[in-house]
């Protein structure tokens, strides 16, 4: 074959080059993301013999069952409640921690140190982190003891541990860092001169936050929101442990299904949840253009 | 009644960031209301710090800053009624041109219709009407500069502070925007304080040029004063256009003295304002580069020209209306003659030629 005289690649070769560029990503995404999703998708259309055996075929029975169940709606409502509460608290805490680190800590070394401090909870396992709430929130826990001692209550509060409150506390504890990091990142990129220019124009601290810092941290807030929402909606473990079995989430339902070998309904629930999450994430991406966060 | 006077007085202003060295060291200056004042000096000389202290973004360690008869130290920028135009503009990237310009009115609580009307009027003044709905990133450098100017001017400040406003622009645009700044200043009739490190910019624009070095004012005066009558070697060299020579005083005779140099007759210098010069003193003098004439050896000097220094031509640069001839007249120091183009080409020199550098006695200026 003669080498092409023109310096530009022939269409076929430039096509090949294009594929080579994306191949690393494809090699990761296909086996670890696309294939499992396809397996789950396929399983959701299969029939089952009730003992874990799957009959290949195409039936919408599992979807009908999931969508007709009153439990599904209840679980979604419960999950959304946890998600929204967790989102609100992680957002508020995350925003102000990031704001403090970026705008009030003058010493950059100190800022980085404090930033690393935020990751300390992650030096231990998720389970330990949850268990560690028990001595604080439990019936004989520190908070109850303290409240009893100062006479504010006469009965230990039951609501502190193994309750929805405990679930939200554990989520917020675990996930605030996922808000801090992207918000910190986008705030750190705000030119300090802009703040000065706003002060020069006569803006108060609140004006600066409302008109400059929040709008310019939007992409970080959006990224953090995506992290928190998808983690909470895809979790069942925290709900199970921290609610003491009193509450359930969407995922805990199909975890149960898997436990009793109802693979197709579990798969159908999983597909449904994926669709819901995709819808939420695309809604967030439509509201906020996060490209600047990723590309710059 | 609100005080609209924009005259400024700096009295013993000092600023230290580390408590040891003064970045601004005892600056005293009076700037008239409605003046265009340029601070000029190399980077790190404290000029921007002075600007930021007048603006209220930095507090002086000592001294008073008086605007319109009122000591403003400790007041917020809005209370001082100053506005600052930042280096590289600091436009809000997420707001349109109109919103950027209306920002100050927005945080002052003006209603949306009022502030947008005011912003549109200002946009028209800086000729940006067709760009009002664009984001800063969609504008050219010159347009961004006009937005920054409009944003600062919308609050009707009594003093507008400009931190190297032209440094982000390319040469051609810089000259154009320079005129625009001057036009805006005259139109608004307020005091402008402009920080720059470009001599040409300062003398082209300013009523009052303030030359700074290491936190101190070296000379402050009208552009022509500072350029043509520099106080000392530093100002002469910084403002440019001067040859600085030094030597010992050989003899003092009435209204002039003679400087010993590697010249047959020494250099005769009129005493001018320098009152006391003693024999043996080491003195710097300045001679404007365009006052230096070059004569071939052996020819007669023009009348009134007493000094002539033999020199070799080191380099020649054609500059258009004049020719820059670099000479080895004085050891260690640059010595340059700006020869008018027509004079030069009537009898052109080449590199290596020996010439006599000469000037009218009256044009030598003794420096402090």
What does the block give as tokens for A148? 């009893």
Strand B305-318 relative to strand B322-327, pairing: antiparallel
> What pLDDT was estimated at residue A255?
87
Segment holding B256, helix H or strand E: strand B256-259
> What pLDDT was estimated at residue B88?
87
Among chain A residues, CA nearest to B99: A211
Distance from CA of A92 to the nearest CA of B (A): 22
Which of B44-48, B108-112, B158-162, B327-331 comes out lowest in average pLDDT? B327-331
What does the block give as tokens for B212? 């700074």
Q: How many Cα atoms are found within 13 Å in the side-chain-facing hemisphere of B260?
A: 9
Q: Do residues A253 and A170 make contact, with C-beta atoms less than 8 angstroms apart?
A: no
CA dihedral B95, B99, B104, B108 (to 10 degrees): -110
Size of chain A, expressed as the number of residues it contains: 296
Residues of B in contact with A203 (CB under 8 A): 103, 107
Q: Using 50, 70 and 90 to split pLDDT, how confident is the model at A296? A: very low
What does the block give as tokens for A202? 């006569």
Residues of B in contact with A198 (CB under 8 A): 92, 103, 107
> What pLDDT was estimated at residue B1?
37
Which of A208, A207, A180 minimizes the C-alpha distance to A192? A208
Mark yes or no for CB contact A197/B78 under 8 Å: no
> What pLDDT was estimated at residue A295?
55
Segment holding A16, helix H or strand E: helix A11-29
CA angle A103, A129, A179 (to 5 degrees): 30
Among chain B residues, CA nearest to A215: B94
Segment holding A294, helix H or strand E: helix A291-295
Domain with CATH 3.40.50.300 in chain B: 8-228
Average pLDDT, rounded, for chain A:
87
- What's chain B's Rg over C-alpha atoms? 25
pLDDT at B154 over 60: yes
> What pLDDT was estimated at residue A123?
82
pLDDT at A106 over 90: no
The average pLDDT across B112-124 equals: 93
Assess B112–A contact: CB distance below 8 Å, yes or no. Answer: no
Average pLDDT, rounded, for chain B:
89
Domains of chain A: 69-295 (1.10.3720.10)
Assess B90–A contact: CB distance below 8 Å, yes or no. Answer: yes
Which of B47, B367, B326 minimizes the C-alpha distance to B201? B47
- In percent, the amount of chain A with pLDDT more than 90 equals 44
Question: What is the phi/psi pair of residue B27, to 5°?
Answer: -90, 130
- In percent, the amount of chain A with pLDDT more than 70 equals 95
Question: What is the phi/psi pair of residue B8, to 5°?
Answer: -125, 140
Which of A75-84, A86-95, A107-116 comes out lowest in average pLDDT? A107-116
pLDDT at A198 over 60: yes
pLDDT tens per residue, range A121-148: 778 888 888 888 888 888 788 888 888 8
> What pLDDT was estimated at residue B252?
83
pLDDT tens per residue, range B230-280: 999 999 999 988 999 888 888 887 777 877 765 556 788 888 766 677 888
3-state secondary structure (DSSP) of residue B113: helix
Which member of A193, A203, A216 has the closest CB to residue B90?
Answer: A193
CB pairs under 8 A between A and B: 58
Q: Do residues B24 and B13 make contact, with C-beta atoms less than 8 angstroms apart?
A: yes
> What pLDDT was estimated at residue B329?
84
The average pLDDT across A99-114 equals: 89
Q: Do residues A24 and A17 make contact, with C-beta atoms less than 8 angstroms apart?
A: no
Place of tokens 């949850």: A130
Among chain B residues, CA nearest to A217: B94
- In percent, the amount of chain B with pLDDT more than 90 equals 65
pLDDT at A197 over 90: yes
Domain with CATH 2.40.50.100 in chain B: 241-366
Assess B183–A contact: CB distance below 8 Å, yes or no. Answer: no
Which of B225, B267, B265, B224 minimizes the C-alpha distance to B244? B267
> What pLDDT was estimated at residue B263?
59
Distance between CA A31 and CA A167 in Å, rounded? 34
> What pLDDT was estimated at residue B367?
87
- Which class for A238: exposed (0-12), middle (13-18), buried (19 or more C-beta within 10 A)? buried
Mark yes or no for CB contact B103/A200 under 8 Å: no
Q: Using 50, 70 and 90 to split pLDDT, how confident is the model at A248? A: confident
Residues of B in contact with A197 (CB under 8 A): 84, 86, 90-92, 151
- Cα A88 versus chain centre, distance: 13
pLDDT at A52 over 60: yes
Distance between CA A66 and CA B114 in Å, rounded? 57
Helices (H), B47-192: 47-55, 77-80, 97-107, 112-125, 141-153, 171-188
What does the block give as tokens for B169? 């622009």
Segment holding B314, helix H or strand E: strand B305-318
Q: Do residues B56 and B77 make contact, with C-beta atoms less than 8 angstroms apart?
A: yes
Q: Which of 1.10.3210.10, 3.40.50.300, 3.40.50.11540, 2.40.110.10 would CATH assign to domain B8-228?
A: 3.40.50.300
Distance between CA B238 and CA B41 in Å, rounded? 8
pTM of the model: 0.81
Helices vs strands, H then E, count in chain A: 17, 2
Distance between CA A57 and CA B206 in Å, rounded? 86
Distance between CA B6 and CA B330 in Å, rounded? 47
Please, which residues bridge with residue B14 across strands? Answer: B62
Q: Do residues B103 and B151 make contact, with C-beta atoms less than 8 angstroms apart?
A: yes
Which of A9-13, A24-28, B108-112, B255-259 comes out lowest in average pLDDT? A9-13
Q: Do residues B242 and B230 make contact, with C-beta atoms less than 8 angstroms apart?
A: yes
CA angle B159, B162, B167 (to 5 degrees): 165
The average pLDDT across A206-233 equals: 94
> What pLDDT was estimated at residue A1?
45
Q: Do residues B325 and B349 make contact, with C-beta atoms less than 8 angstroms apart?
A: yes
CATH number of B241-366: 2.40.50.100
> What pLDDT was estimated at residue A57?
83
Assess B109–A contact: CB distance below 8 Å, yes or no. Answer: no
Largest CA distance in chain A: 93
The average pLDDT across A169-197 equals: 92
Distance between CA A118 and CA A102 in Å, rounded? 14
């Amino acid at each position: 074959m003669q080498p092409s005289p023109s310096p530009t690649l022939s269409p076929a070769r430039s096509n090949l080059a294009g594929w080579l560029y994306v191949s690393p990503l494809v090699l990761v995404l296909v086996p670890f993301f696309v294939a499992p999703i396809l397996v789950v998708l396929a399983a959701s259309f299969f029939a089952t013999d009730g003992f874990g055996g799957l009959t290949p075929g195409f039936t919408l029975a599992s979807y009908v069952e999931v969508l007709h169940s009153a439990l599904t709606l209840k679980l979604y409502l419960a999950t959304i409640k946890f998600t929204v509460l967790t989102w609100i608290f992680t957002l508020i805490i995350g925003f102000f921690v990031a704001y403090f680190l970026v705008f009030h800590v003058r010493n950059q070394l100190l800022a980085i140190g404090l930033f690393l401090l935020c990751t300390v909870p992650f030096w231990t396992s998720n389970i330990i982190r949850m268990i560690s709430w028990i001595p604080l929130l439990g019936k004989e826990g520190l908070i109850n003891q303290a409240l009893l001692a100062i006479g504010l209550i006469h009965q230990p509060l039951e609501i502190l541990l193994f309750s929805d409150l405990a679930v939200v506390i554990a989520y917020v504890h675990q996930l605030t860092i996922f808000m801090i990091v992207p918000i910190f990142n986008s705030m750190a990129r705000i030119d300090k001169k802009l703040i000065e220019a706003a002060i020069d124009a006569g803006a108060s601290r609140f004006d600066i936050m409302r008109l400059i810092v929040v709008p310019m941290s939007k992409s970080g807030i959006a990224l953090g929101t995506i992290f928190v929402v998808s983690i909470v909606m895809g979790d069942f473990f925290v709900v199970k442990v921290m609610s003491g079995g009193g509450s359930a989430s969407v995922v805990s339902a199909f975890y149960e299904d898997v436990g009793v070998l109802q693979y197709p309904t579990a798969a159908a629930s999983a597909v449904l949840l994926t669709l819901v999450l995709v819808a939420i994430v695309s809604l967030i991406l439509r509201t906020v253009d996060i490209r600047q966060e990723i590309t710059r | 009644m609100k005080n609209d006077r924009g005259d400024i007085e700096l009295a013993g202003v000092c600023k230290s960031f580390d408590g040891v060295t003064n970045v601004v060291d005892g600056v005293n200056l009076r700037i008239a209301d409605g003046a265009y004042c340029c601070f000029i000096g190399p980077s790190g000389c404290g000029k921007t710090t002075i600007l930021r202290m007048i603006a209220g973004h930095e507090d002086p360690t000592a001294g008073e800053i008086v605007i319109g008869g009122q000591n403003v130290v400790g007041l917020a920028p809005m209370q001082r009624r100053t506005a600052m135009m930042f280096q590289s503009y600091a436009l809000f990237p997420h707001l349109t041109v109109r919103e950027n310009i209306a920002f100050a009115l927005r945080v002052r609580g003006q209603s949306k219709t009022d502030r947008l009307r005011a912003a549109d009027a200002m946009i028209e003044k800086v000729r940006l009407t067709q760009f009002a709905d664009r984001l800063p990133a969609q504008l050219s450098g010159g347009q961004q500069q006009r937005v920054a100017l409009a944003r600062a001017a919308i609050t009707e400040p009594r003093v507008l502070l400009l931190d190297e406003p032209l440094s982000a622009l390319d040469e051609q645009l810089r000259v154009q925007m320079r005129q625009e700044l001057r036009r805006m200043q005259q139109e608004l009739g307020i005091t402008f304080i402009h920080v720059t490190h470009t001599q040409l910019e300062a003398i082209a624009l300013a009523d009052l040029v303030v030359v700074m070095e290491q936190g101190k004012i070296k000379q402050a005066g009208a552009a022509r004063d500072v350029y043509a009558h520099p106080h000392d070697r530093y100002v002469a060299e910084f403002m440019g256009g001067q040859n600085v020579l030094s030597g010992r005083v050989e003899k003092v005779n009435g209204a002039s003295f003679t400087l010993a140099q590697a010249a047959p007759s020494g250099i005769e210098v009129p005493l001018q304002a320098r009152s006391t010069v003693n024999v043996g003193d080491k003195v710097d003098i300045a001679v404007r580069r365009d006052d230096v004439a070059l004569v071939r050896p052996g020819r007669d000097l023009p009348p009134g020209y007493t000094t002539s220094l033999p020199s070799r031509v080191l380099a020649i640069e054609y500059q258009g209306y004049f020719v820059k001839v670099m000479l080895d007249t004085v050891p260690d120091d640059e010595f340059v003659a700006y020869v008018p183009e027509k004079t030069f080409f009537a009898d052109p020199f080449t590199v290596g030629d020996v010439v006599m550098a000469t000037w009218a006695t009256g044009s030598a200026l003794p420096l402090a």
